[in-house]
Amino acid sequence: MRIDKYLKVSRLIKRRTVANEVADAGRITVNGRQVKASYAVSEGDVIEVQFGQKPLRVKVTSVEPPSGKDVAREMYVVLEE
């Protein structure tokens, strides 16, 4: 699954276009590497997103699309807020 789509379905970012813009601005790193919106996310990846002055680090636990919005939080584990 592409990282922009992953951020949208996991509800870390509300819209896919916003996730795409954040990736193009260079504010997303995966395992310490800056990535583009087309990066393929896999289980075990550590994603860091810069939201202004607050970085958010999460570990990917699942890349399967959730069946509902209440289970979207099970797609990742927050490491640092």
Give the Cα separation of 45 and 52 in Å (integer): 22
Our count of domains for the chain comes to 1
Task: Output the CA torsion 53→6→20→27 (10° steps).
Answer: 30
Show the domain range for 35. 3-80
pLDDT of residue 65: 82
pLDDT, average across residues 25-54: 92
DSSP letter assigned to residue 21: H
Q: How confident is the model at residue 35 (pLDDT cuts 50, 70, 90)?
A: very high
The CATH number covering residue 40 comes to 3.10.290.10
Its pTM stands at 0.88
Contact 24, 37 (CB under 8 A): yes
Burial of 11 (0-12, 13-18, 19+ CB in 10 A): middle
Contact 29, 48 (CB under 8 A): yes
Residue of higher predicted confidence among 24 and 69: 24
pLDDT, average across residues 38-49: 94
